[in-house]
Amino acid sequence: MKYRSLLTLAILLSSFVGLNTATAAHHEEGHTELGEQMEVIGKTFRSLRRAVRDPAKNAESAAMVGKMLKAAKSGLDHEPAWKAEQPAGEQADFVANFKKEMKVFVQILTDLKAALEADNNDKANELIESLRDQQRSSHKDFKKPDED
């Protein structure tokens, strides 16, 4: 009986290690620095949208925007992975347009942080909507569509 439990435990552990290794390899395959920065922005933005509704959380919201701003500025140093799939003659324009849109995004974040620090929640909520609109349009242009 003791050996059966030990054997079962060994099989479970080896299955887990194999699954974990496969998951790590898949993550490394699709991993980009820009993707990491965008993930930080996305996760933080979801929390920010809820927090910005409460004026008592303006300091917390401004800190979240600061985190997003840092990630967005870091993203300016990178190119979208989808660039490689663009026609060779259009790749430079693709990257230039991406950087232009990222600068717009950075400016909206800068304005949002200032609005929150000034306790101007009406302006902050307008800027949140601008961020959502800008994100959606930019993802259409610069993010590779998800494979179903």
Residue with tokens 């079962």: 8
Tens digit of pLDDT at every position of the chain (148 positions): 554 554 444 454 444 444 343 333 334 456 788 889 889 998 999 999 999 989 999 999 999 999 999 999 998 888 888 788 888 888 888 889 889 999 999 999 999 999 999 999 999 999 999 999 988 888 777 777 766 5
Same domain, 132 and 102: yes
> How many beta carbons lie within 10 A of that of residue 34, not counting itself?
19
Residue 82: CATH number of its domain: 1.20.120.10
Position 121 in a domain: yes
Domain that holds residue 60: 32-142
Same domain, 21 and 51: no
pLDDT at 123: 95
Q: How many domains does the chain have?
A: 2
Same domain, 25 and 38: no
